[in-house]
Structures are given as C-alpha cells and as structure tokens.
Structure 1
Amino acid sequence: MTASTLGVTVVAGFLGAGKTTLVNHLLAHAGGRRLGVMVNDFGALNIDEALIDERRDDLITLSNGCVCCSLQGELSSAIESLLAQRAGRLDHLLIECSGVSDPARVVNVLGYPRIRARARLEGVITLVDAALDREALAPALRHLVASQVEHADLVLINKVDLVDEARVTALEDALLLPDSRHLRTTQAALPPDAVFLPRLSTQPAKRPRDGSDGAATSLEALGLRSLSWECEGAVATQPLRELLDGMPREILRFKGVVRLDDGRRLVLQRAAGRLTSQELDASGQGGSRLVFIGEQAPAPWAWLAHRLECLAS
C-alpha cells in the first residue's frame, strides 16, 4: 500500500448511537485536513450555510476543502466515483454507515482490488449508546449490534453523561469483547488525533477477516420498516408537540429538520426514548423532512400516518 492512497475511517453503530454527531465533531475539528464524508443523508449534518461553496444533488463542497457526499445506490460505485473526482484533493475519507448496517460490508468493499489501489482502510469506529437496552431489542437487532462491535477497531461508549456508572459498566461487560479497544465519550467528542494520527489498524485488528458481510441488514430481515415524510410549508407547533409527546415505543428512531410556523427551524432527533432538538439558522433553505424507523407492528405506523397528516394540514 502506497502513501498516496487515501486513508478511510468507517463510522458505524446502531440507530441513534451518535454517528452523525461524531462526523460533525470531526468536520468541526478538521485542523486543516480536507475531509471527504460519505453519509446516507447529509441533511442531518447541520452544515453551516456560510461554509458551503457549492451544493449539488449528491455533493456539498465546503470552503475549508471538505466534501460531503450522499451515499446512495451501489456502495462500491459511490466510493469509486468520489475517489475519481476528489481523491487528490482530500486528506482523509469518513464513511458513515446507516444505523441498521454492518460495517463488515463496507470493509469488504474497501478490499476490492480496484478500490484498495486508491484507498486504505485505517479503522472502523463503532459507537454504542450508553443507554442502549439490548434486552429490549429483537434477536436480529441484538445480533446486529454485536456484529457492529465485533468488527470495530475502536468502540465508543457514547452519551455516558446520561446514565449512571453501573449501567455503563454493565453494558461494557455484556457487549465488549475481552480485547476490545474502547473509550467513553459525551457528545461523541473523540479527539481528532485518535482518528487521523495514529492509524487504528496499526494495532492487531480485532474484527473478523472471514470475508462475510456480517449480520443481516435489510429492514425486512431485521423486522423493521421505515417512513420518510416531507412538507414544503411550515409545520404547526401544537400538532408537532402532540406527535413528539405520543410517539409509540415501537418507533425506535427518527430524525430530521422541521420549519415551524413561528419561523424557527429545528433539527429533531429521538433515540433510546430521548428527544433532542437544536435550532438552526432560520434563513436556511428547505421545508420539513423527517425519517422514521421502527418495528413492523402496524398499529404504531397507522397512528404515525394520522399524526403526520395533521402536521401537514
């Protein structure tokens, strides 16, 4: 492997573990490094509009040399396209997996000869929500979380400020492998040098090398379904509050941006039963967009569809 190949770090973890928070943190503390970021939805990155030099359907170029690319379609094609267009202008590439994917798939793709000639895997970082209730997950989801940890070079037990020491320790005992390298973090505040300076994979990698794609990751196989909702106009505050207050527990995760009728724009996220919000620049473009994922039971989705109709009216 030559020094001219682009270093790649894969960011993995279950729904709501803090993957996008980590990516945002690394973008904000790039230290002059020109980062490429591949995500399933860069709308959640909350990029400061003042930093954007160019915006296209699937690519955002920032004034500090960083690039954010929407990871849609065939994974290998998306990686090859970014490498062909931008590799010479980037110092490092971050690939954020979806919350229901196994990093083994990305690791295998990075091993394709035509890709590894231009990119080298420097490590897999898996985030775990410290409040994760593994026992409440269906068996397929528990297996997915275990596989995400098993394939990691570094595990971040994130949001440790939200639970007590006993719960964090119990999670570590239940989930980590005996030789797992791990850190505890708040707001996914991993020191950037831990990613960019020494190479994570210089130590013996703990993840399996059997060439498998890891755990099942299709929504159907995991017993999940998803729903995307968009609204061009403003959203009334009271119907939104009723939706948030009554969200069924079967809806495991949602996130998105809403434009309220009082002029505010908010990023909303819910994971592990916790709702967080962040106010954005009200002058930003776009309406409201929310993505939900949860168990397949029909009743919660019927309730959600009704509430979303009220939200848009």
Structure 2
Amino acid sequence: MIDVYLFSGFLGSGKTTLLKHMIQQAKEAGLKPAVFMNELGEMNFDSEEVEDGVPLKELLDGCICCTGSEKSEAQIQTLLAEEEFDVLMIETTGAAHPVEALDAIFSPLFADRLHFKGIVTVADSKRWLGRSQLSPQVRSLYLEQIRHADLILANKMDLLTESEQGTVSYEIQSFNPSAQIIQTVKAKVPFAALQKMAAKEKGEIEKAPVSKLNLNAVVLRFSEPVKRERFEDWLRELPESVYRIKGYVPLEGDKYPHAFQYAYGMAQWLPEYMKLEPQIVVIGENLQGVELP
C-alpha cells in the first residue's frame, strides 16, 4: 500500500513550500515520494519546485475536484503504472474543496493500492485574522479547507504578534477540534507528524466550487525588462481581488528573470541563474483590466 497525503489550503498559503519540505524529508527517511499537482491556470510554475528524479504528474487549467476528476484519475493511474514509489503527495489548487478532491484518490481503478493518510491544510494565519474581509464565497471555501483537515498548519506565524498567535491557534482549534494544529513558519513541520495522521470520517460538505468562486487565472507575458520599483508600484495598485501571483519577472540590469511570488500584499523575490520564460500567472476574482505596467 502506498501512503497518500492530500495538501490543501487557499491560494498563497504555503502548500508548495510544504511539499518541498516533505519531499526532502521523505527521501531522507529512505522513502521514494511521487507528486501529483493541480493548478487552476494553464501553466504550473510550482511544478518547477519539484526536485529532479521525483515522479510527477500534473493537471492544468482545471480542478481535481470537478471537471478534471476523470483526468486526475488517469494521471494517477499512469503514475502508478509507470513508477515505483512509497508515498504519493497530492497538492490541490487553492480553489479546491479538499473532500471533493478525494474522488480522484478513491477511484475503483486503484483504490486498493492507496492508503489515504489524511488531509493536511496549510492555513495562512494572517488571513484567518482578516477572514471577515473575504468575499462570502472565498471565505466559505477557506473555512471548509480548515474544517475538513486532519492536520492544520497555522502558517506564517512570524507575521503575527504573540497575542495574535494565541488567538489564531485557539480559534482554529475551536473551529476544528478534531484536528491537530501545529504553528509553523514557512510550513516547516516534521514528516513524522504526517506519518502519525489517521484520516477521520468526513461529514456533510458545504460545496464551494470554482464556478461559484468566480476565480480565474490570466497569464501576463513581458516583452521587455521592467524596473523593480515600477513593478512594485503596480503591485500596490492591484485590486484586493488579486489573491496570488507567481512566475518570472525580468528586471532591468539583471541577466536572468527573478522568480516571483505574491500573496495578499506580500511579495517575495528570488534570484534565478538560468533563462526562464518572462511571464507571470495572476489568480483571483474579477481580473478584467489587470495588465502589466
């Protein structure tokens, strides 16, 4: 039996960072991990974070939990047929309901080969404190991802005061009393914590599919390098309905584009040392008119 972990959490919460940590720790434990990734848009920059040699399948421009369910089953079946591995880690899109995503795992084609360990939800702690400001549909999904988790990582604790950290942990534990909660920074958690998980029975699902969220993704391509200051000014001018940006930004004076991540007003730049396609994916609601500076 192959242990299966499903990583859930809203856009920008830290799922891919968690995935990278778990891949490394699983390998250090002598296990061979495989990965199935789901992305809302037509491109998946996150897959480039997966180490070479790790079996990987992807579902792009669709959701594992709705229109892409059959495609997801086919990808997992192919992975099982082509590769030998001990652990399967599934990273869902930030717009996926975690329980609905289980359909692809419990396919009659291969369910007897998989041992589902549980749902790990990465919760942006700062976003928890500001959840009342989310649109009703987004807030519903955000809470559902936490409510159905078997293990909750209260992530980005370094952005909160000590008092806020206590408030977040208490409120999330009250909201989902059956899940273990671990406070994390950059989604760092021992792989052993996941191995101890046992999936609980899932109750009634309050559905919040992508179609109701009105989430979509647009790819913006750079025709020439930009000034970092001008680009950051553009970020500050974006509407609050932009939840996530990721990709590669070509900056004036630099040989290679920089890897770029953005979530809820916070940006992260990382240097790259190879020529990558200068483009970004913007994910959110009501993206009409969102164009590069």
Provide the TM-score with structure 2 as the length reference.
0.84
Name the CA distance, whole Å, in 1 between partners of 2:123 and 2:281.
21
The residue number in structure 2 matching 1:96 is 91
Match of 1:81 in 2: 78
Opposite residue 188 of structure 2, the aligned amino acid is A
Aligned to 1:56: none
Q: Could you tell me which residue of structure 2 aligns to residue 182 of structure 1?
A: 181
Partner residue, 2:232: 241
| CA positional deviation for 1:77 | 1.7
Shift of 1:71: 2.4
Gaps of 5+ in 2: 61-67
- 1:21 equivalenced with 2:17 (yes/no): yes
Equivalent residue runs for 1:137-216 within 5 Å: 137-175=134-172, 176-195=175-194, 197-198=195-196, 200-201=197-198, 205-206=199-200, 208-209=202-203, 214-216=206-208
Q: Is the 8 A contact 2:45 2:246 kept in 1?
A: no
Task: Evaluate the alpha carbon distance shift between residue 164 and residue 292 of structure 1 in structure 2; reply closer, same or farther with a 3 A threshold.
Answer: same
AA of the residue aligned to 2:109 = R
Q: Residue 100 of structure 2: which of 96, 105, 127 is its match?
A: 105
Give the stretch that moved more between structures: 253-262 or 30-39.
253-262
In structure 2, C-alpha distance between the alignment counterparts of 1:147 and 1:292, rounded to whole Å: 23
In structure 1, the residue matched to 2:63 is none
**Counterpart in the other structure of 1:291:** 281
Structure 2 distance, partners of 1:191, 1:148, is 21
Look up the SS of the partner of 1:14 in the other structure: coil
The code of the aligned residue for 1:40 comes to N
* Matched residue, 1:55: none
Q: Among 242, 257, 272, which residue is 1:251 paired with? A: 242
* 2:33 matched residue in structure 1: 35
Aligned to 1:189, the other structure's residue is in SS state coil
Among 193, 198, 212, the alignment partner of 1:221 is 212
The two structures, once aligned, show a CA RMSD in angstroms of: 2.3
Aligned to 2:46: 44
AA partner of residue 208 (structure 1): K
Matches of residues 260-299 of structure 1 in structure 2 within 5 Å?
A: 260-261=251-252, 262-280=254-272, 282-283=273-274, 285-296=275-286
Check the 8 A contact 2:95/2:215 in 1, yes or no.
Answer: no
2:135 and 2:49 map into 1 onto residues whose CA distance is 35
CA separation of 1:44/1:110 partners in 2, compared to 1, >3 Å: closer, same or farther?
A: closer
The one-letter code sitting in structure 1 at the alignment partner of 2:157 is V
- 1:67 is aligned to 2:69: no
Q: Specify whether residues 177 and 209 from structure 1 end up closer, same or farther in structure 2 by C-alpha distance, changes over 3 A only.
A: closer
Tell me by how many angstroms 1:268 deviates.
1.2
**Which residue of the partner structure matches residue 124 of structure 2?**
129
CA contact (8 A) 1:151 1:207 kept: no
Deviation at 1:103, TM superposition (A): 1.0
The CA distance in 2 between the partners of 1:112 and 1:163, in whole Å, is: 41
> Deviation of residue 234 (structure 1)?
4.9
Note the alpha carbon deviations across 1:52-71, whole angstroms, 9 max, x for none.
Answer: 3xxxxxxxxx1xxx222222
Q: State the Cα distance separating 1:155 from its structure 2 match.
A: 0.4
C-alpha contact 2:236 2:265 (8 A) present in aligned 1: no
Residue 140 (structure 1) shift: 1.4
Matched, 1:120 2:120: no
- Secondary structure of residue in 2 paired with 1:248: coil
Q: What is the CA–CA distance in structure 1 between the aligned matches of 2:202 and 2:112, rounded to whole Å? A: 22
Distance 1:234 1:278 in 2: 19
Amino acid at match of 1:71: L
Q: Is the 8 A contact 2:257 2:276 kept in 1?
A: no
Residue 8 (structure 1) aligns with = 4
8 Å CA contact 1:11, 1:124 repeated in 2: yes
Q: Distance in 1 between the 2:38 and 2:104 partners?
A: 16
Aligned-pair CA distance for 1:141: 1.3
What is the Cα deviation at residue 9 of structure 1? 0.3
1:155-178 Cα distance to aligned partner (Å, 9 max, x none): 000010111122233333444322
Would the alpha carbon gap of residues 19 and 47 (structure 1) be closer, same or farther in structure 2, given more than 3 Å must change? closer
Q: Could you tell me how far apart the structure 1 residues matched to 2:122 and 2:279 are?
A: 25
Number of matched pairs: 272
Question: Which consecutive unaligned segments of at least 5 residues does structure 1 have?
Answer: 53-61
